[in-house]
A and B are shown apart, each in its own frame.
Chain A
Amino acid sequence: MEDKRFNQLKERYNYMHDILAGKNNENLRLLASRLEELDSRFPALSARERETAVTSLEDLFNFVEKKIEVELTPMDRVRIVRNPQRICLRDILENVYDNYTEIGSMGEHSPDPAMLIARAYITRRHGKRVFNQSVMVIGHEKGHGEEIRNGGSAQPWGNAKALHYMKVAETENIPIHTYVFTPGAFPVEDTPGAAQQIARNLFEMGNVKVPILAVFSEGGSGGAEAVGLADRRLMLSHGYYSVISPEGGAAIEGNVKRGPRATPELIEKVASDLCITAQDNLRLGYIDRIIQEPNLGARCHHFDFFRLLRQEVLRATDEIVLDVRGMQPFRAMGKRSRRKKIEEGLNMENVRMSWNLSPSAQERLMERRHRKFRGLAGQAFIDPRTKWDLFKQGLNETFWELAGYIRYDLLRKRQQNIANFFGEIRSETSLFIKNQTAPLRRLLGKAIPPLRVKRNGEAEKQLTTLSDWNDGNERGQWSYVSPKAKEDKAVICPNSATHGCLDMWAPDLYGEFAGVCTNCGHHFPMEYQWYLYNMFDAGSIHEFNAEIEARNPLDYEGFDLKLEKAKAATGRKSSCMTFEASIQGINLCVYMLMAPFRGGSVGAAEGEKIILASERASKKRLPLLAYVHGTAGIRIQEGVNGVIQMPRCTMAMRRYIDAGGLYLVLYDTNSYAGPVASFLGCSPYQFGIRSSNVGFAGPGVIQETTGVMPPPHYHSVYKALARGHIQGVWDRREARFNLHQSMLTMGGRNLYYK
């Protein structure tokens, strides 16, 4: 018995040594020396002496653990959640739920062993009656370091499986419990790509009609968001939730590409600056409650913790359901007394509470979920609009909605009915006249000249002559010419070795040729201004919400200066510009991500502008275009304020699409990571400008994570088209024409011109 306890102490020592990574030497040295000393004299001790010695050492361990606990740094917490001794999802299924059946996996025999799905139930008692309440448990399985689990990095098909079973739960009207134990998504671009699948998950999860509860232990960026969009988000006290792994953040901060890795000090600093702990996330409002773990994190033998987790899971699921049940004014009082009882120690297992939702409660649930995410990150950007400005804007929006309703719903429907009525009368009358005059016409025969058809010259030309892509552009006479066209130098096409392209003179290439190689069609990157002036009707651009400004919400060291530099260099306040414009007379609402501003990265300000643009488009019944001049992903210096834009904006796009709008995305140059894996990737109509790249993680990150070098052109738009991520590849010079065609042929009914 004492032998076992003594071995457990050794394991506790090893665990502490691992999570502190060589720090706190004094404490650890003390424990090591005491362990060694006891180890040497252990065989000679009597049973009683052993018991006394082990108990005394256990007390010392408890004391040291408590001491270390208060000194834990954010990076220590990262090491805790990644430690193989950390609890994993199967431990939770064993200890929190009363029964479970794994679905679609037996160890390595699974589409993705990193993603675990289980049908489970929790037993509750009310008096003598027993109730089994079913839930769908979905989460990442780290498997205590099993190699096949990839550390909980779900592959795209793992996320697809998760989504599938969320839909099953929706059909069966049972709640979903998701457990986030992932350092990030597995960055492959197979079919479907990582970004593509995460975007689908977010898009669908926004409207899943059953309660979703998420518990975060390791919330690594996009991988976490793929199952983390929930009505209640709980977090384990020693977990982390971050926009990027501290190592990845340090590599970017330290500008480390290949070879030497970022120093441990820099990694520690980045982990601290990113505000990734449970306390940070609670303060920022991205989680609802913290579940307290034992000192130095929960491990398999902490049965009290599992009991607490069970209580918290029951409580949170009940709360979600109670919040959306009918008769809310009456329920408010009940909820208050219930909260009081829970604080006094009410055992949630003895509370009878059905988790079934009526259709109206389901509607309220979705509405609350959308409202919850819409309200997040409000503090993370600068909004100089006064209350008066907001009031005026509110009035405007009401007017647009009202005017739209009268003009397009009321009048147009009537107009159509009247037009249909007269159309029918006209056709009946003409048939009647034709029948009546037929004998007369036969008699007179050729004496009556044929009816004169009014000739339409333009239509005739269109039908009888071949079209030319350059027709509208007066053969390369572009409204905006790149400053690069002023340089007197030759430019080499990157395909010259394989396609035999000749060098081009910069004024020709960037002027008349619009940055397109005349031989192979390679598109050289152009400024976003080229698109502003050549894609939209001249003088039609009207910017709005330009005053919303990016800031440094986490006071990330050195970022203020970088942000100021970007603002000074570009003259913009964020990387997103929102405006209304028209293409061949059709008005549309546009949000544009500009690569020159911090790589087109998306933070809270950009997210807010995107959401406001979608809401404006919806109210004014305009098509919504996302022109992505380039985006490097979510702005890491904003931490979770940035990554939360993924679900926030995706849900906004969902609302817009559901209302009957047309959401088009046009990728240019390079578009990667979070935005592609959420509000861009969720569009049903995504197009890419030739020679641009679309994907989740760049080649360096893929090689670092998977150990496999991706093939050349892995992220090219053609590959994205082949794997079904985008729906077409466009020539830059035809973008205007194609957009016009798309607006005419695609989208729902909530468009003013339809």
Chain B
Amino acid sequence: MLDISALLEEVKASPYVESSVKTPHSGVVSFNDDLKPGAALFGPQGLYKEKPGTLLANLERERVSKSINALEKGELVAVNTELAGRFVQAGTEIMRVRHFLSRKEVLDIILKEALHLFRAPEKAKYYFVPAVDLKVKNTGPKSVSVHDGMDLFIISRMKRETPLRYSGPDGVIYAVYFSVHQNLDAGEPLIGICPPSQVNQIEEVAMRVQTEWPDE
């Protein structure tokens, strides 16, 4: 059985993701001199993420220079300064950067580990079958037990309605990710399922993350 508290402690112990920045191809590296270890980095910004992230380095090959930019918000951990001005092969690590996890990302990690997500197979509107819908409305989704092969949803698209059966591990519905009349894209989660015994534990951890995790 999954130990959710341990998972949270693990995330709290290292509340970030550290990754290395590697050269996409061979070339001569030149670093952004303004950046020192500990410097704050920004990912792509703007309404459409049209502004590139912080410039980390330039890579020149065959008289053409390619910029390497930060992909996420974070902090610069280390720079392999000995590579500055040298020719490197593709895939060479030139920097290490650290991205601090946001509250939402931590919750996502925990729920991803703890829940089984049942996803929408196609772009459509989704409804619970009437019996389940009634139960969800009256006593909440956590009172609904599901099992593999159970008739759970109705897919409605362009006036055509077809039933959809649940497939996955048995459990109770921990979270519902759609609302009535909402159009969902294929692949978006519909419900999150967990074993009945873990419901309280997940709720508690989620609450702790909401209250304890520092805001962005």
* Cross-chain contact A492 with B64 (CB below 8 angstroms): yes
**Contact pick for A503, options B46, B47, B62, CB 8 Å:** B62
**Contact pick for B63, options A488, A709, A711, A712, CB 8 Å:** A488
- Chain A interface size band reads 10 to 19
- In the complex, A505 has a CB within 8 A of chain B: yes
In the complex, what residues of A have CB within 8 A of residue B61's CB? Answer: 490, 503
- In the complex, A489 has a CB within 8 A of chain B: yes
**Contact pick for A490, options B47, B48, B64, CB 8 Å:** B64
The closest CB in chain A to the CB of B65 belongs to A492
Contact residues of B between 62 and 83, Cβ < 8 Å to A: 62-64, 66
A714 to B63, CA, bound (A): 31
In the complex, what residues of B have CB within 8 A of residue A491's CB? Answer: 64
In the complex, what residues of A have CB within 8 A of residue B63's CB? Answer: 487-490
- In the complex, B157 has a CB within 8 A of chain A: no
Per-residue interface assignment for chain A, residues 458 to 499, with 1 indicating a CB less than 8 Å from any chain B CB and 0 otherwise: 000000000000000000000000000001111110000000
In the complex, what residues of B have CB within 8 A of residue A489's CB? Answer: 62-64
A505 to B66, CA, bound (A): 15
In the complex, what residues of B have CB within 8 A of residue A709's CB? Answer: 46-48, 50
From residue A598, how far is it (CB to closest CB) to chain B in Å? Answer: 29
In the complex, what residues of A have CB within 8 A of residue B66's CB? Answer: 492
A491 to B50, CA, bound (A): 22
A305 to B73, CA, bound (A): 63
Contact residues of B between 5 and 32, Cβ < 8 Å to A: 25
**Contact pick for A711, options B25, B48, B62, B64, CB 8 Å:** B48
A488 to B63, CA, bound (A): 8
A470 to B63, CA, bound (A): 31
Query: What secondary structure prevails in chain B residues at the interface with A?
Result: loop
From residue A709, how far is it (CB to closest CB) to chain B in Å? Answer: 5
Q: What's the tally of chain B residues with a CB closer than 8 Å to chain A? A: 10
Number of A-B contacts (CB under 8 A): 26
Contact residues of A between 325 and 352, Cβ < 8 Å to B: none
From residue A200, how far is it (CB to closest CB) to chain B in Å? Answer: 30
From residue A469, how far is it (CB to closest CB) to chain B in Å? Answer: 29
Per-residue interface assignment for chain A, residues 708 to 739, with 1 indicating a CB less than 8 Å from any chain B CB and 0 otherwise: 01011000000000000000000000000000
Contact residues of A between 264 and 315, Cβ < 8 Å to B: none
In the complex, what residues of A have CB within 8 A of residue B50's CB? Answer: 709, 712
The closest CB in chain A to the CB of B67 belongs to A492
Contact residues of B between 35 and 58, Cβ < 8 Å to A: 46-48, 50
In the complex, what residues of B have CB within 8 A of residue A712's CB? Answer: 48, 50
* Cross-chain contact A505 with B62 (CB below 8 angstroms): yes
The closest CB in chain B to the CB of A505 belongs to B62
In the complex, what residues of B have CB within 8 A of residue A711's CB? Answer: 47-48
The closest CB in chain A to the CB of B25 belongs to A503
A711 to B64, CA, bound (A): 28
From residue B21, how far is it (CB to closest CB) to chain A in Å? Answer: 14
* Cross-chain contact A503 with B48 (CB below 8 angstroms): no
From residue B53, how far is it (CB to closest CB) to chain A in Å? Answer: 12
Per-residue interface assignment for chain A, residues 168 to 190, with 1 indicating a CB less than 8 Å from any chain B CB and 0 otherwise: 00000000000000000000000
A489 to B47, CA, bound (A): 34
In the complex, what residues of B have CB within 8 A of residue A488's CB? Answer: 62-63
The closest CB in chain B to the CB of A502 belongs to B25
The closest CB in chain B to the CB of A714 belongs to B48
From residue A182, how far is it (CB to closest CB) to chain B in Å? Answer: 28
A505 to B50, CA, bound (A): 27
The closest CB in chain A to the CB of B47 belongs to A709
The closest CB in chain A to the CB of B49 belongs to A712
From residue B18, how far is it (CB to closest CB) to chain A in Å? Answer: 22
The closest CB in chain B to the CB of A711 belongs to B48
From residue A490, how far is it (CB to closest CB) to chain B in Å? Answer: 4
From residue B6, how far is it (CB to closest CB) to chain A in Å? Answer: 38
In the complex, what residues of B have CB within 8 A of residue A487's CB? Answer: 63
A491 to B25, CA, bound (A): 13
A490 to B61, CA, bound (A): 7
From residue A251, how far is it (CB to closest CB) to chain B in Å? Answer: 21
A11 to B47, CA, bound (A): 43
From residue B168, how far is it (CB to closest CB) to chain A in Å? Answer: 33
Told that A489-B62, A489-B64 touch, could you supply 14 new A-B pairs with CB distance under 8 A? Answer: A488-B62, A488-B63, A489-B63, A490-B63, A491-B64, A492-B66, A503-B61, A503-B62, A503-B64, A505-B62, A709-B46, A709-B47, A711-B48, A712-B48
Residues of A whose CB lies within 8 Å of any CB of B are 487-492, 503, 505, 709, 711-712
14 inter-chain pairs at a CB distance below 8 angstroms, sorted by A residue, are A487-B63, A488-B62, A488-B63, A489-B64, A490-B61, A490-B63, A492-B66, A503-B64, A505-B62, A709-B48, A709-B50, A711-B47, A711-B48, A712-B48
Q: Would you list the 6 A-B pairs with minimal beta carbon distance, nearest first?
A: A490-B62, A489-B63, A490-B64, A709-B47, A489-B62, A712-B48
